[in-house]
Each structure stands twice: as structure tokens, then as C-alpha cells.
Structure 1
């Protein structure tokens, strides 16, 4: 069996494919991964021995503004993504039994077009329930297209979301489809999602509510134990005192990284705690040389979180999943997209606190940390971690084998 996995996403969107790729290979499958050409993705896949097919532009450069805006803006970038992922998937997917895709709509649309041309099965996967149409929740607002404040019917909002997706991506997708001899689409979003998408989330952390319009297959989160040791200097810092509070915002480009670092470190110090600051794509750093803070780059988050008193983060699906699995209390400072959803889930489960809004002050973050650092929150976080399903990638791998067999 041969499988092509594809994602145009940040690290949190590529990492689950690493877990799935490893489990597929254990079952005897050949696996390739189409991913952005960022060095960190290539290094991560190389560690587990999975071939990466660099596709599209650097996500990090795009997110951090190092890639200048193109003259055509979003439509131009969408057209580039559709073509790039179609062409790469056509080449890398030759002889494959199934193509699996996640990430931005135009990139996924390119992969599905390749599956149509190749005549092979296609699976769409989401890492958060709120990106899939359901009467139980509204859609996430698309950039520049806020949800109408006077509409409360979720079905109506999802119908509007489909129209918005068509207006933003329809021309790019249909122009490309015409160029390769495929029929145009009047609903790009639903074509990409299919009527049976997969949901790679833990059923306790991020459950799918039924009944719904889609026949969603929830596999559990695609996680892979990370055996990499922590750097020696970080271990020395951890061993030198009480468990610190971790703070990091992953791939989010914070507007004022220095102020964010100042606010978070002062709030952590106000609780009498040390801090580990993850630089991330915002390039956060320590604010002075007092010795109670330590800055890190790429490290094993699974191991680090298990040694933290609490984790302050943006609420991306990947970081929230890792922190929940580690059983560490969380403070989520959501910046957008699916992050308010995960902030709400952390608060609802009692495993941490949801900060109100994307811009914390020392006072507001201190209040959230006080909640997270209570013994009751840690006890609850440990209990939820004990119920966390670690077999999601294995379940998905077996399902893909069955799909290919049919």
C-alpha cells in the first residue's frame, strides 16, 4: 500500500501527519508527505525517516511577513497553492492507493483534483470540530469576513460560510480545474470536506456532537511519543528549582514580541514562579538577566510540558493536544481561528483557564495563572490526561488500509 499525506499548515498541522506516517509504515505502507518547504518540517520528518515532498512557499515566511504580499493578494496566493499542490500530488501520488489532505482550502483542493485525475481515494482530515459544518456551533470567521452579528442560526451561518469560501477561492480552483479538464465546482468548501471527513481530535478534549449533517469519522488525535532528550542546559535549569511556567505562542506572529514577553514574565514572577520562554515564530526572549527565565527554541514539548507547573499558549490544536496529553494545567490566550474554541474547552474541562481576548495584561494573565496553578486544576488535568486516547494515529492507519482495500 502507498499513501500520500499532504498539509499546507504550520508545525501544529504537520506534526499529526508525522504520527500517522509512522503508524502507516509500521503496517507496511509506503508513505510520503507533501508539506511546506520550511526547514523545521524537513528536519522533523527526517528524524522519523519519512520522505518529504516540499510543496508551495514557506509558511513561516508567509506568516511572519518575510514573503512580500503578491499583487493579486489572496486570489493570487490561492491560485499558486492549488497549482503547486495539484502538481506535486500528481507526481508524488502516482501509484498511491489513497491521498490524505489537510490545511488551507486551496491547497487541499489541489490535492483532491489530483486524486480525481489519478483515480484514487481521497480523505480530508480536520484537527478541530469547529472547522466542520454543524448545527451545534458557528463557523470560524474567515479573514475579512466577520460573521453577521444579527444571525444566530448556525445552519444559516454555515450556508454563508460556503458562499464566502466560494467567493474567495472559487475562481482560483475552477480556473485550475478547467486547465486540467475537470468540471467546475459551485461549492468548493463542501467538495474539499466531502460528506465523510475525518476528525483527528481526542474525543474528550474536542468531541464531535451528533446529530449533524456530516458523517464525521473521529479517530482520536494523531500523536507520536517524542523520545528526543531535552537539551542539557534546559535540564540543568529545570533541575535548579521549582517547576517553571512555560510560555509560547508557536507559529503566531505577535505584534509586539518584547511587550508580550514582558507581560507574561512579570505575570509569572508575580506567582513566585520561574519561566521557560519558547521563542517560536514571534521570536520571544527573556527580558533581563535575573536567571529565573530560560529561552528555548525547538525542543521536545511532550517532555518539557511534563516538567512545567503550567503552560501559557495560544490555543492551537497541536499545543492544546500536547498539553492535555501531558496532564499540565493550561492558560490559553487565543489569537483567532480555532483557538477560542480550544480555550473554551480547556476552561470547560477544568484543566486550565481561558484568557479573555488576545492581548493579556500583567493583571489579567496573573488572574488566569492563579486559576491554573491551583492544586484542583492540576488534579483535574491529570485525570483528563489519564483518559486521553493515544491510539488515534493507529486507528487512522488501519482505516486507511481498509479504505484502500475497498
Structure 2
């Protein structure tokens, strides 16, 4: 195989090869992280390509924005795994790779002869990574899972209703896919570390439902952490209706008045120190923890009396965390992101300027890592199939 050339210092996973049968978002997030760390990732696609190629804005067919931001630094190999020839080619390639990862239903992988046992028989040292909607030992095993479904099943959508008093709602980002992809990436890194120490491969199974249930309940298990229960579930600071961007006279700002110093500074800055000293609910972390509705309600009332610019200047001078409420469009000109080189802008082959999110891994040196752009369907097929396996 011809590895993608690196234009920056050697990265932690340089030399590691990943055979990637994932699609959509969850799996590609995981494998793009591995690619950012220097792994050579070969993305196996059906002849029609990953379905996510059609999602989001695009200037070329099958190169939509959603795909572009989850598949950089990878090579694309077209194989039709519905044919015996395609499966045979994949099996022949397997021993050349360190990691084999998929988000195909386990039953389908068994039918293809690509389940864990079959793959490990071909390559005992491989790290086999299986991403699913649900763990295989429960009654939901084998069901299709989507981000919206998982947000609803894990209580995340209902938390919006409890906090706002309105209807259940979804986080308007693919949080379940991306959190699960991140989880799978660090599980894969741990398995690779273990293999380096022991020489042994292993099987990693990461499921969306269980991963997001853990993500949500770490904040909201609350009183049910104990038996018998020590109170209700849910973290009151996150569920108070006053935990939201605060309305000012002319807009909204975000403010976090959190610790003892912040609260005293807030009352001093607003010439209301007498209120602070007369009301014990503001004075200690323990008292505030029992009174989030009241103390954040007070903030809400006070902040509504002046303009956003007034409050941002006053609070910043008092060293209280605050910021404007940005639109996603504002991030394109954000001074922090621009200063750190967050966006990589280059000309695409169709003449358009392509704005890419810089790789997550940055070497200790000042030299940034430059990843190859996301591949076109089958872009590397010829090179890969003429390689010696």
C-alpha cells in the first residue's frame, strides 16, 4: 500500500493501519481521530459510496460537507461486499492491518464471514472494533440506532422539557454519534497500547445506547446513585429554568457566576453587597446547591436591566466568566480560532475555496499537521488493489 505522505512531524500512530468499514458519522468520527493521530486509514465503501457523502452543502457530487468533515486523511477503497469477490479481497487484505473496525450489524458481519472469530482466525493480533446501536446481550440487540432515537431513549430529549417546561427536544448536533465515536477512538487507542505491551489483539465493542446512557447519567443519576435513594434524579443546577443565556435589555449573554469569589465580585460590581451579606443562599457552595432556582432567578432579573455591552464590560472587569451568545456563523471570524489556526483554507480541485477544520492532533513543535482532504469515492482503489497483501 502507498501511505498518505505526511507533511509534518511523525505522529503517535504513524505506521498503524486501520481497515475501516464504517459509514455515516459515529464510525467515521472514530477513524478520523485515528487518522489525525497518524494512522493510515483505508475506508472501504460500496460502489455507491458512503450515504453521508450526500449530506450537507456541496460543490461536487458525493462530496457533501458532512462527509468532508469526518473523513479527512483517509484513503477510499471501493469493494462490493455483496459479492464473493469483494469479501475475498477484503479477507486477503486483513493481515496487513492493525485495526479492523465496522458499524455493520453483527449478524450481517457473521453472514459475510467477517465476525470477530472469523477475522481473528485470519489475523490473531488484530484489534477488532465493533460499533453498534445497542450491546448484544440485551433485548434491544440488533436494532437500528440513530442519533435522534438514542437522544430520546437516554432521557436527553426529556431533559430539555424538564429544564424549559416546554416540549422534549433534540440537541441540534449529532451528539450521540460523536460522543460514541470519541469513546470508540480512545478504546481503540487503549487496545493498541495493550497490544504493544503484550502482542495480543482483542475485541472492542462500543454501543451508542449504553455510551450515551453513561454520558447522561453521570450528571443526572443523582439520588438514585444510592440505595435506598438519597433524593430525586437530575442535577438541579443543570435543570433550573434559569440556566440559559440571560436576556439583557437588547439581547442575550452567557454568564457563569459559580464560586464564592464570583458571587462576591458580582454583588460588589452591582453595588449590592448588602444583599449578598444578608442572604445566606448566595454565600457558600453548599447553600447555593440547594437554591439554584432562586439564585439564578436573581441573576436573570438583574441582568435584564442593562444592555449586553454594559454587562460584558462590567463582568469581564470583575473576572466573572461571560461572553456573547454567538451564532455558528460568528465562529468563522472568532479571534481565538483564527489565532490558533483552527481553520485550514485551501483551493479544492473544482476551484472553490475549501475551509477545513484543522486536525485534532498538534505536534509539540510549531509545525502544524496537515491532513489529506477527504477522498472521492474509490479514489485509492487502484493503488490499494495492486498492492501486495
TM-score bracket for the superposition, by shorter chain length: 0.3 to 0.5
With a CA cutoff of 8 Å and minimum separation of 6, indicate the structure with the bigger relative contact order: 2
If the length of structure 2 is used for normalisation, what is the TM-score?
0.33
- TM-score normalised over the length of structure 1: 0.31
